[in-house]
């Protein structure tokens, strides 16, 4: 078993970003909109802030307190977010914008994301950027987690060619973009897409040469659900009793794999690194 060490790989990416930023006359600047007090979202934003400062990228966090009493107040609050995004779209200092997801219930995530200028959409979630990804546009902005997973595999010289890739979870941040990127890569890979409710899920996961799970269901993937020497990537997180858990029951699964991401320091660091990589490339 060998760990897919995202923390180690991301350090090299950050070093490249810092070098590139140091040579820019106008430095990249990231605007982050954080809505509410979700502890996980606050943690992720603080990590992004620290990494931006480490590599010389400017950042401003807009923390909007979410206090909704009725449908009318939801409408007004959503407009407040949209108006802020429009202001940031027109701010020449701001080169990238992200809205930290998930948003509180009641807000229209799609409408809010669609307000972001596609040229400033470092999360790659605007319909125009998703469309570019679908058609294989080399300049498409890819969602950072999906991009980070492929970059991690590339670093460890794990090819997709002729592999059977089974993905569990088909969300907009990981599953959907990653599936599209695998198809567009034209790698002759076989792709199977499942979800947490798939009947006889283990039947499919045991066929995987590369198993990628992103459901947010703690320890969904058990030892008996993978074949020997499979490559296992855990892109799911959930909070149980104040502890962050992944989709994969790592301690029981690890010795059956050839490569596996660790519970911490796997996909997470790659996500932030690729986000900042997107930002710097937007600046180009």
Instruction: Provide the annotated active-site residues.
Output: 48, 100, 123
| Cα 82-83-84 angle, rounded to 5 deg | 90
Q: Where are the beta strands (DSSP E) in the chain?
A: 2-3, 29-35, 58-64, 96-99, 164-168, 190-194, 210-213, 230-234, 237-240, 243-246, 257-260
Neighbours of 110 (CB within 10 A): 11
Determine the 3-state secondary structure of 235 from DSSP: coil
What are the distances in angstroms from CA 84 to CA 33, 45, 112, 131?
9, 18, 10, 25
Provide the phi-psi class of 157: left if phi over 0, else alpha when psi is between -120 and 50, else beta.
left
Q: For residues 197 and 133, what is the distance between their CA atoms, to the nearest angstrom? A: 27
CA distance 49 to 51: 6
Q: Do 104 and 96 contact (CB within 8 A), yes or no?
A: no
Phi, psi of 183 (to 5 degrees): -65, -45
Cα distance between residue 209 and residue 227, in whole Å: 8
The answer to whether the bond into 167 is cis (omega within 30° of 0) is no
């Amino acid at each position: 078993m060998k760990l897919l060490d995202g923390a180690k790989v991301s350090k090299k990416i950050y070093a490249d970003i810092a070098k590139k930023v140091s040579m820019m006359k106008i430095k990249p600047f990231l605007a982050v909109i954080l809505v509410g007090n979700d502890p996980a979202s606050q943690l992720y934003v603080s990590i992004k802030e620290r990494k931006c400062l480490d590599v010389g990228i400017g950042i401003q966090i807009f923390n909007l307190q979410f206090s909704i009493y009725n449908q009318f107040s939801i409408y007004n609050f959503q407009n407040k977010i949209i108006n802020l995004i429009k202001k940031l779209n027109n701010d020449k200092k701001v080169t990238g914008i992200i809205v930290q997801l998930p948003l509180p219930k009641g807000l229209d995530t799609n409408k809010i994301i669609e307000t972001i200028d596609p040229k400033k959409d470092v999360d790659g979630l605007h319909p125009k950027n998703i469309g570019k990804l679908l058609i294989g546009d080399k300049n498409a902005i890819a969602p950072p987690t999906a991009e980070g997973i492929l970059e991690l595999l590339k670093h460890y010289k794990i090819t997709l060619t002729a592999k059977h890739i089974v993905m569990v979870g088909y969300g907009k941040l990981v599953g959907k973009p990653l599936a599209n990127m695998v198809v567009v890569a034209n790698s002759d890979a076989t792709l199977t897409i499942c979800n947490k409710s798939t009947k006889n899920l283990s039947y499919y996961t045991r066929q995987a040469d590369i198993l990628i799970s992103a459901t947010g269901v703690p320890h969904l993937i058990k030892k008996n659900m993978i074949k020997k020497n499979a490559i296992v990537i855990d892109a799911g997180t959930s909070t149980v009793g104040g502890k962050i858990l992944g989709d994969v029951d790592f301690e029981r699964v690890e010795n059956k794999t050839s490569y596996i991401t660790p519970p911490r320091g796997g996909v997470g660091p790659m996500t932030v690194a690729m986000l900042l990589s997107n930002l710097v490339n937007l600046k180009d």
